[in-house]
């Protein structure tokens, strides 16, 4: 399906940060753009804000003045809604309120021609519900941009129950023409990103509530081992806890209180205290002048005279550690075994979702240390460890010393199921698998959405495949057994793929 020609006019209703950003994107692509807002002067202020932002790029030598002038000249503030009537597509980016959006869309349907595409930038309201009062709901489609719209690549093209597939395809092609990475989604709560991303915040919030580690340490582990751009606590401080908590509550309510989406009491308290993050000056961290981010807990330097490392069996995703140990000058002895490392008194293994104390007792390995998942064990700069209660001080010392030999910073966290990165990735993959099973989006679009919308280092389904058949299922099953909660129930598609001996892509 062809994209809208750049000779056609686009209208954007709502001149706030999101609406102005969308107007800029369309104008940069070459469209004439009407910008309307019911607040007096807001549309003109929105255009002026775009001009000022682009001028800064000129001042830095990143853009030509002629290009800026051309973009700004295409944006036309209009005072009356009736002035957008000849637009080929109208995108509403107003307040997230069902009734207010209903009223606007009904007015637009009356004003515009029958060929005008009506698009909603809603992030949480059902496109099906928004179209329910329209005479022609087939021409309504979700076009969910991410903030800031000129910079963020993802656009979720959301189809309501009545949305014409041809309309959705035109919008998808148009977003691609605008330099975006569009994905298709069905109109289900949270669409793709706001649904699949819930565990990224939820699991670290729960680990914090359980006293596993402090926010700075958990953030550092997620960044430096998991290779995520930001940790969950600094990210929610940036988003705003009122916004993030409201989305979580909305998804939780929409899925009839499914335990997977349970909101956090810690975040609830922050909202009630007005500690909303960067915008209020205080969230998990302080943002007042002169304040510094706390350093993550890092184990002090340890030394060991041992020079031999025994690798027993296949280390799976952690196999890249062997070369790092070899480069550190250790003699490597490889032999059959359950997939673990012996060094001095320490026995180390990649977490399988069980607590170290539980696993040590079950396997008869009292000096057990579990280490967390890394996105790339060959390059990770930090790893989380947890020790079994049975482990001796010497075994703990040796485990830390071993990883430090490879210039890996070690953060020891309390013994909790699945540690930090493994637990986060497993629950993300689980939610993504459930979304695919329920037809929310294809596996390719789910993975693309999480990378383009949230800068994840890899799509959760692709990452699950890379960990090996059945590993995520095993981790989730063990975490669920530890807690006895439905929150960690493995998705049906994970189970099916495991029994078929395949992944999501192969």
pLDDT score, position 149: 95
CATH architecture of 201-212+214-295+420-506: Orthogonal Bundle (1.10)
Q: What contacts 490, CB < 8 A, 6 or more positions away?
A: 430, 472, 473, 476, 477, 480
pLDDT score, position 270: 97
pTM of the full predicted structure?
0.95
Q: Which fold has domain 308-412?
A: Transcription Regulator spoIIAA (3.30.750)
Q: What is the pLDDT along the chain (506 residues), one digit of tens a residue?
A: 699 999 999 999 999 999 999 999 999 999 999 999 999 999 999 999 999 999 999 999 999 999 999 999 999 999 999 999 999 999 999 999 999 999 999 999 999 999 999 999 998 899 999 999 899 999 999 999 998 999 999 999 999 999 999 999 999 999 999 999 999 999 999 999 999 999 999 999 999 999 999 999 999 999 999 999 999 999 999 999 999 999 999 999 999 999 999 999 999 999 999 999 999 999 999 999 888 999 999 999 999 999 999 999 999 999 999 999 999 999 999 999 999 999 999 999 999 999 999 999 999 999 999 999 999 999 999 999 999 999 999 999 999 999 999 999 999 999 999 999 999 999 999 999 999 999 999 999 999 999 999 999 999 999 999 999 899 999 999 999 999 999 999 999 999 999 999 999 98
pLDDT score, position 382: 98
Distances (CA, A) of 186 to 285, 438, 452: 36, 10, 18
Distances (CA, A) of 365 to 29, 337, 372, 403, 460: 62, 13, 18, 20, 32
Give catalytic residues, as residue numbers: 123, 144, 156, 194
CB atoms within 10 A of CB 151: 9
DSSP 83: G
Q: 3-class SS at 256? A: coil
**Residues of each domain in the chain carrying CATH 3.40.50.720:** 9-187
Of 383, 309, 295, the closest CA to residue 343 belongs to 309
**Residues of each domain in the chain carrying CATH 3.30.750.190:** 308-412
CATH architecture of 9-187: 3-Layer(aba) Sandwich (3.40)
8 Å CB contact between 183 and 449: yes
H-assigned helices in 383-470: 393-404, 421-437, 443-454, 460-467
Query: Phi and psi dihedrals of 15, rounded to 5?
Result: -110, 25
Burial of 329 (0-12, 13-18, 19+ CB in 10 A): exposed
**Residues of each domain in the chain carrying CATH 1.10.1040.50:** 201-212+214-295+420-506
- Phi-psi group of 111: left, alpha or beta (phi > 0 → left; psi -120 to 50 → alpha; rest → beta): alpha
pLDDT score, position 506: 80
**CA pseudo-torsion sign 493, 495, 496, 497:** positive
């Amino acid at each position: 399906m062809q994209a809208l020609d750049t000779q056609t006019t686009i209208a954007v209703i709502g001149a706030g940060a999101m609406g102005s950003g969308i107007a800029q994107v369309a104008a940069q692509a070459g469209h004439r753009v009407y910008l309307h807002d019911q607040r007096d002067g807001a549309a003109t202020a929105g255009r002026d804000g775009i001009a000022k932002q682009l001028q800064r790029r000129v001042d830095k030598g990143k853009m030509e003045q002629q290009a800026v002038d051309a973009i700004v000249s295409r944006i036309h503030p209009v005072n009356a809604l009736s002035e957008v009537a000849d637009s080929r597509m109208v995108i509403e980016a107003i307040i997230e309120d069902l009734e207010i959006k209903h009223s606007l869309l009904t007015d637009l349907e009356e004003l515009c021609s029958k060929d005008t595409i009506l698009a909603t930038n809603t992030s949480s309201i059902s496109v099906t519900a928004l179209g329910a009062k329209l005479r022609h709901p087939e021409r309504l489609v979700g076009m969910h941009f991410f903030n800031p719209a000129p910079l963020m690549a993802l656009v979720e093209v959301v189809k309501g129950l009545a949305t014409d597939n041809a309309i959705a395809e035109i919008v998808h092609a148009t977003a691609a023409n605008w330099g975006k990475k569009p994905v298709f989604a069905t109109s289900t709560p949270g669409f793709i990103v706001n649904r699949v991303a819930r565990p990224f915040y939820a699991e670290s919030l729960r680990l914090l509530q359980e006293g596993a580690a402090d926010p700075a340490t958990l953030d550092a582990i997620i960044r430096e081992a998991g290779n995520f751009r930001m940790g969950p606590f600094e990210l929610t401080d940036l988003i705003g806890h009122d916004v993030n908590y409201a989305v979580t509550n909305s998804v939780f309510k929409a899925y009839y209180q499914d335990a997977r989406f349970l909101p956090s009491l810690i975040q609830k308290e922050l909202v009630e205290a007005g500690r909303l993050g960067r915008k209020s000056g205080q969230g998990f961290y302080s943002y007042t002048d002169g304040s510094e981010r706390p350093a993550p807990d890092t184990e002090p330097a340890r030394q060991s005279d041992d020079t031999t490392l025994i690798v027993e069996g296949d280390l799976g995703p952690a196999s890249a550690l062997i070369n790092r140990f070899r480069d550190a000058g250790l003699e490597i002895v490889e032999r059959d075994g359950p997939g673990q490392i012996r060094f001095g008194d320490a026995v180390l293994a990649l977490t399988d979702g069980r607590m170290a104390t539980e696993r040590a007792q079950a396997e008869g390995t009292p000096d057990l240390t579990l280490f967390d998942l890394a996105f790339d064990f060959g390059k990770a700069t930090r790893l989380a460890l947890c020790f079994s209660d049975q482990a001796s001080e010497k075994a703990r010392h040796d485990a830390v010393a071993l990883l430090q030999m490879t210039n890996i910073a070690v953060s020891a966290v309390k013994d909790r199921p699945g540690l930090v990165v493994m637990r986060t990735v497993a629950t993300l993959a689980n939610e993504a698998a459930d979304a695919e099973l329920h037809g929310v989006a294809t596996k390719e679009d789910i993975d693309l959405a999480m990378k383009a919308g949230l800068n994840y280092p890899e799509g959760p389904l692709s990452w699950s495949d890379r960990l090996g058949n059945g590993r995520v299922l095993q981790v989730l099953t063990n975490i669920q057994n530890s807690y006895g909660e439905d929150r960690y129930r493995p998705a049906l598609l994970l189970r099916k793929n495991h029994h078929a001996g395949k992944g999501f892509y192969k």
